[in-house]
Structure 1
Amino acid sequence: MHGEALQDRARQRADELPSAGWEQPFGPEWDVCKVRGKVFMLMTIRGGEPIVTLKADPEEARALQSEHADITPGYHMNKRHWITLHPGGSLTTALVDELVTESYRLVVEKLPRAQRPIDPATFGLE
């Protein structure tokens, strides 16, 4: 996935997720997607390159980084729990959708049960 197509696809997938909403709490250069007030995705331009930062399971994050040159530790985030996607050849639409959904699920599962818009144990796994 190249250039702005990465951010466009990530935004499109996030917009499909229940209770997801956009804010710019860090200024107009950062688009932040939250569920019930908790961040699960950030997008900005870094060095002229559109990037997407997502929450990830630490073991999965390490595996993704070793498999894909276009996935690095989270920019400006905890490097263990967040990853950054860069435009490039190895990221497919399906992978971007999967990573956005997983980031969302990881955040939702930490919410109090009464605030969860979905069941994180089953959502996106059907």
Structure 2
Amino acid sequence: MEELSTLDGQELQKTAGDHGVGLPGADLEQRPDWHLYKVRGKVFMLMTDMPGHPVVILKADPDDAAALREQYADITVGYHMNKRHWITVGGGGTVDEKLVKELVTDSYRLVVSGLPRSEQPVDPHTYARRT
């Protein structure tokens, strides 16, 4: 069985940030305590440091968010966000690079799907779908 290569907090933020800025139409807004990743002005990812450790905050389908929180100890409710629609991902022993990239892409797709069709940089129903 292949061993999971997990990410610490800094690796988590670097992986998520590098992936986020590479998504079509994505912009990064840096503030003193937050990095905001947006598509057409709508936030799909935030990065900050919770007391003591770096985290990534992502939009998630409410059912998926609940399942993720049950399955991964390093995924909790959205820090300073709607607890039903956002998750906080921390570095540690349960998240790896593949999962982080999938969660960032899923968050991006959710936000894009809420934009008017004329403003969507990609089709959110087909872009980077997992098979």
AA matched with 2:74: D
For 2:11, the equivalent position in structure 1 comes to: 5
- Over the matched positions of the two proteins, sequence identity in percent amounts to 56
For 1:17, the equivalent position in structure 2 comes to: 23
TM-score (norm 2): 0.92
Deviations 1:4-56 (A, max 9, x none): 000000001101100100113xx411000000000000000111200000000
2:91 alignment partner, SS class: coil
Runs of 4+ in 1 over 4 A off after TM superposition: none
Deviations 1:63-115 (A, max 9, x none): 00000000000000000000000111110100000000000000000000000
Structure 1 unaligned residues grouped into runs of 5+: none
For 1:59, the equivalent position in structure 2 comes to: 63
Question: RMSD of the TM alignment (CA)?
Answer: 0.9
Q: 1 CA distance for matches of 2:128 and 2:98?
A: 12
1:34 alignment partner, SS class: strand
TM-score (norm 1): 0.96
Structure 1 segment 64-83 matched on structure 2, within 5 A = 64-83=68-87
2:106 alignment partner, SS class: helix
Q: What is the number of residues matched between the two proteins? A: 124
